[in-house]
Chain A
Amino acid sequence: AQTVTQSQPEMSVQEAETVTLSCTYDTSESDYYLFWYKQPPSRQMILVIRQEAYKQQNATENRFSVNFQKAAKSFSLKISDSQLGDAAMYFCAYRRGETSGSRLTFGEGTQLTVNP
């Protein structure tokens, strides 16, 4: 079974600084997708960024980028120029690629605090 681990229950960053959230996963599959979701205090889950395992290039979405290390099974999220609105719970998630409608497996989450 696939597992996703986020080893940092809490992180904090100063406004305008950069922070990196860690995620590791365990799988025997070669085709899969990885995601970072953000859950602000409203508790609405918001997709931040996604990465296809077959792509070597790291995904980037504005201030958000990932460091995808397939051999190490590591998928960290870097937030640049942190803003107060980035404060939220962040979840890393894994999805198999070859099975239609396959489920997402989530990590335990990292609570990010942004200090003004």
Chain B
Amino acid sequence: DGGITQSPKYLFRKEGQNVTLSCEQNLNHDAMYWYRQDPGQGLRLIYYSQIVNDFQKGDIAEGYSVSREKKESFPLTVTSAQKNPTAFYLCASSIYTPAPYGYTFGSGTRLTVV
């Protein structure tokens, strides 16, 4: 079955460490997205990519980095510059053409700073 796989489900980061969250999809979707979810703030866009080897900053990109070397993969690195990284992170994908489609979401990664 096609879908989006995020790993790991839970991740713990020490102060000053970089960590990478994985997102893989086999839906043949062109566009992929990373959102951060905090209580009471909905989902906020971190980065998105519409095609391979290209990506754009979202609303809260500071302290994060991404790459899009393959269509299927869009990993997110949370760097030590991100001062408050504890949150729930959701990856999503969609087809590229204008259409009344929403996203397909992964099951999320819960990141905690220890």
Binding site for B on A (CB under 8 A): 6, 9, 33, 35, 37, 42-45, 47, 50, 52, 91, 93, 95, 97-109
In the assembled complex, B67 has its CB within 8 A of some CB on chain A: no
Query: In the docked arrangement, what's the CA distance between A44 and B103, Å?
Result: 12
Q: Is the interface of A mostly helix, strand, loop or mixed?
A: loop
Query: In the docked arrangement, what's the CA distance between A83 and B77, Å?
Result: 39
In the assembled complex, B76 has its CB within 8 A of some CB on chain A: no
CB within 8 Å for A102 and B98 given contacts A9-B40, A43-B88, A108-B42: yes
Closest to A107 in B: B42
CB-CB < 8 A to B94: which residues of A?
101
CB-CB < 8 A to B97: which residues of A?
100
Closest to B51 in A: A101
Interface residues on B, range: 20 to 34
Partner of B102 from the list A42, A93, A98, A108 (CB cut-off 8 Å) is: A93
Query: In the docked arrangement, what's the CA distance between A67 and B50, Å?
Result: 31
A6 CB to nearest B CB, Å: 8
CB-based contact A101/B30 at 8 Å = yes
In the assembled complex, B2 has its CB within 8 A of some CB on chain A: no
B35 CB to nearest A CB, Å: 8
CB-based contact A45/B105 at 8 Å = yes
CB-CB < 8 A to B108: which residues of A?
43-44
Query: In the docked arrangement, what's the CA distance between A107 and B97, Å?
Result: 24
CB-based contact A100/B102 at 8 Å = no
CB within 8 Å for A91 and B42 given contacts A52-B100, A99-B98: yes
17 interchain pairs, CB-CB under 8 A = A9-B40, A42-B107, A43-B88, A43-B108, A45-B90, A45-B103, A47-B102, A47-B103, A50-B100, A52-B100, A98-B98, A101-B31, A101-B50, A101-B94, A101-B96, A108-B40, A108-B42
CB-CB < 8 A to B42: which residues of A?
6, 91, 106-109
**9 other A-B residue contacts (CB within 8 Å) besides A43-B107, A43-B108, A106-B44:** A9-B40, A35-B102, A42-B107, A44-B105, A100-B50, A101-B30, A102-B98, A107-B42, A108-B40
